[in-house]
Structure 1
């Protein structure tokens, strides 16, 4: 038997941005988005049925093929909901207007189907509860794309005529889709209680590659293990105006660290200060330079905070410490040596450079190179620098690279050059180097290694050269 979800897009369009990049249209609808919509209408006594659904393997997806999808884009200025002294809107006092770009899909067929292989794992009562939830969902994506949803059990999982089937695959593909996973409901519940958006629960664990059924059907696709970073959350704060030079990365990450710790309620979570948690990753503060492009100049486009896997309460306290109380998520940062304040903005739903997207720093990829130099954990024996670099990866809980290249000079366009006195204070008088590493399996970032990995150095960026497969 198969658990089937039938979706009909009533306006024959689907308005939803593609994950962290709102310039891209999301198509097909992601099962994680549908799951979050079900949670949004569920009562407490209905959550147990959703917990049963999240334990199932990712579904088959039957939709109009990508080639048949058109895109619609809307641009304009939207009035903010928050009042502020600086607001100067002509018709809405004490408010401002921010530029927004919305993207949606125009499929040829407005019908979508998800099929979960059930094999009797769900009782008839659970299926009925899920169907009651589905029928209460008013829309998917934005409110401009109303939809009807209905669950049922089918014996013949043949999709509707004209739809193309996509299946999960362990091979890397161009189609990355967010799916629910065990524990996803708990994350949504915690975010719901804090009135936070559901997309914050969609870390690397939610990402699965899909491919069209029939692609390379005559060939057996080998299973490829993947390594997932210890940091499921990467909170990116984009510079609004001034963009500092990359060689200032350590003083900016130190300023961000002071601000976050000062804004987090006592007692501070151990993962935030790093004391009493030997061997466990703690919060890392990063500068994200413009790298990897022939025109890259190494300027810091954003700062970021990488949060390791934590209990939900600790995670949310740290998020509040990062973002403060401003619902508009505009952050002022005072930096030692500068008179002016630097304006940072947390705006994942706005158009922004690729450097300031989560995908730029998470891969997955097999080949990674330093965006900021790696500070070695120890002085290398017999001057074997590659072995010391590999050891730094193992010490950071990462896989040991299959191949290591080292260089005094940057190994990718725009990578940051640092003089010894520009390293974080904790790392000065240590040996440091640029490096390129290759792994035996795809690795999800962010990748942080070396003695300064929590303080702005030792950040790697994925490279998609010949070695990534």
Structure 2
């Protein structure tokens, strides 16, 4: 299975359907394909697009019927006006534009090829293009796009599956889809100055609601949902996760150096007024048989309430051009970073977010430094609850703590001398927490949650 999952950052999908001003929903697969095409820059990218266009007509998974609306605005046209026209552009007219938008019941949808068998080279190229996509539909429809091969066999309860019907049969709706030769057609249209819809082809779809024997359980959410991931390019020496703090500090320095002034407060951590900061994450190999705790990659967890303009400033800083190297300290070799994470499970965002269904039980992958000290009448379990609350997460039903790791491969504690002064002297714990409903991560807590420590991983049936 191959899936392309689109998360609508504003919860709204801005795109017109067949008629101008009428919202498109369900979303057309061609929209996502065109977004990938706009992000293609290398020969392997174009090869991947040609593979995708020939992979067959995909399914569309959406979270249900959307509320539809229209936005009205006046825009400057190219038509001359003898009466003066626009106040800003003399001699040109203002024209009324009506644009449709849809607000679905959840902020995600997916384009799915259930039988696709994608090779690693193509998967890496698709993943690389997806990371560059800023929006799907109109430019106001900001989106986060991810590509995966580990999709569930069925979508969450209550979602809908739109399946393509056989040729010459009519379905309940018609959607524009990629087809063999679509990439070349889009390139030619671009060269001629034509619109993408002029080379579009539609296919009919029929609806199959998803039934579930289990009640739909609403997920709990924390202050984060976006997780940008880099892998360590090979060859590289093994780096143990006891170096987490140093690596996270180096990533922070690199990101701040590449982000244009004024650096957003939630990125720098200065002046954020109690709002969550961007967290600089180190991703270790933990929790599986023979896990050795080595560092597999790095990540940025972006707060949900980061304003779109500031999110774009951060994205431009790390992706345009891409962040490809990291200097940790003088006597270390320069680390090479790559966005091509392939199939490595430790480098998949869902490994750390438990997406798309969430998880009830979470356990620390790196030790947690508590927000508070032990004293009479205060237990280590209470310190963990306090740290989770301060980080913006709901209170867990159960908390188990330990002075040693609870996952295979997890480090006991950071390397000596790597903790900043303001984090020393506080209890360092490992913890397992259980919530009453599934929680969608990522999840980190404690005094060093913005610099790699206190990172939790969902504890559920592991992929091997």
Corresponding position: 1:355 with 2:398: no
Match of 1:73 in 2: 118
**Structure 1 residue 50: deviation in Å?**
3.5
Among 329, 338, 345, the alignment partner of 1:336 is 329
**Structure 1 residue 430: deviation in Å?**
1.8
Corresponding position: 1:227 with 2:220: yes
**Structure 1 residue 79: deviation in Å?**
13
- Distance of aligned partners of 1:436 and 1:110 in 2 relative to their CA distance in 1, 3 Å threshold: farther
Corresponding position: 1:374 with 2:376: no
Hey, what's the Cα distance between the residues in 2 that align with 1:225 and 1:260?
Answer: 35
Instruction: Identify which range, 269-278 or 363-372, moves more after superposition.
Output: 269-278
Hey, what's the Cα distance between the residues in 2 that align with 1:288 and 1:278?
Answer: 28
Hey, what's the Cα distance between the residues in 2 that align with 1:452 and 1:26?
Answer: 47
- Distance of aligned partners of 1:450 and 1:351 in 2 relative to their CA distance in 1, 3 Å threshold: same
Corresponding position: 1:365 with 2:408: no
Among 286, 302, 307, the alignment partner of 1:307 is 302
Among 253, 257, 261, the alignment partner of 2:256 is 261
Query: Does the Cα contact within 8 Å between 1:367 and 1:465 map onto a contact in 2?
Result: no
Among 443, 447, 456, the alignment partner of 1:447 is 443
Hey, what's the Cα distance between the residues in 2 that align with 1:26 and 1:228?
Answer: 34
**Structure 1 residue 140: deviation in Å?**
11
**Structure 1 residue 294: deviation in Å?**
1.3
- Distance of aligned partners of 1:226 and 1:405 in 2 relative to their CA distance in 1, 3 Å threshold: same
Secondary structure at 2:118 match in 1 = strand
- Distance of aligned partners of 1:75 and 1:222 in 2 relative to their CA distance in 1, 3 Å threshold: closer
Unaligned regions of 5+ residues in structure 2, if any?
A: 1-23, 31-35, 38-51, 67-74, 76-94, 126-146, 152-162, 186-198
Corresponding position: 1:28 with 2:87: no
Hey, what's the Cα distance between the residues in 1 that align with 2:396 and 2:365?
Answer: 17
- Distance of aligned partners of 1:104 and 1:416 in 2 relative to their CA distance in 1, 3 Å threshold: closer
How does 1:145-160 map onto structure 2 within 5 Å? 148-149=201-202
Q: Deviations over 1:188-210 (max 9, x none)?
A: xxxxxxxxxxxxxxxxxxxxxxx
Query: Does the Cα contact within 8 Å between 2:229 and 2:298 map onto a contact in 1?
Result: yes
Q: TM-score, normalised by structure 2?
A: 0.61
Q: Deviations over 1:277-320 (max 9, x none)?
A: 23210111010001110111111100111111211110011112
Secondary structure at 2:60 match in 1 = coil
**Structure 1 residue 237: deviation in Å?**
1.1
- Distance of aligned partners of 1:71 and 1:248 in 2 relative to their CA distance in 1, 3 Å threshold: same
- Distance of aligned partners of 1:403 and 1:102 in 2 relative to their CA distance in 1, 3 Å threshold: closer
Query: Does the Cα contact within 8 Å between 2:250 and 2:327 map onto a contact in 1?
Result: yes
**Structure 1 residue 463: deviation in Å?**
0.4
Match of 1:206 in 2: none
Q: TM-score, normalised by structure 1?
A: 0.60
Query: Does the Cα contact within 8 Å between 1:447 and 1:461 map onto a contact in 2?
Result: yes
Secondary structure at 1:29 match in 2 = strand
**Structure 1 residue 401: deviation in Å?**
1.0
How does 1:269-284 map onto structure 2 within 5 Å? 269-284=264-279
Q: How many residues align?
A: 336
Q: Deviations over 1:46-101 (max 9, x none)?
A: 985442xx224469x9x99x9xx533435658999xxxxxxxxxxxxxxxxxxxx9
Query: Does the Cα contact within 8 Å between 2:123 and 2:342 map onto a contact in 1?
Result: no
Match of 2:103 in 1: 55
Secondary structure at 1:447 match in 2 = coil
- Distance of aligned partners of 1:311 and 1:72 in 2 relative to their CA distance in 1, 3 Å threshold: same
Unaligned regions of 5+ residues in structure 1, if any?
A: 10-14, 17-21, 36-43, 81-100, 117-130, 152-158, 167-211
Query: Does the Cα contact within 8 Å between 2:29 and 2:178 map onto a contact in 1?
Result: no
Match of 1:399 in 2: 394
Query: Does the Cα contact within 8 Å between 1:380 and 1:387 map onto a contact in 2?
Result: no
**Structure 1 residue 330: deviation in Å?**
5.1
- Distance of aligned partners of 1:379 and 1:354 in 2 relative to their CA distance in 1, 3 Å threshold: same
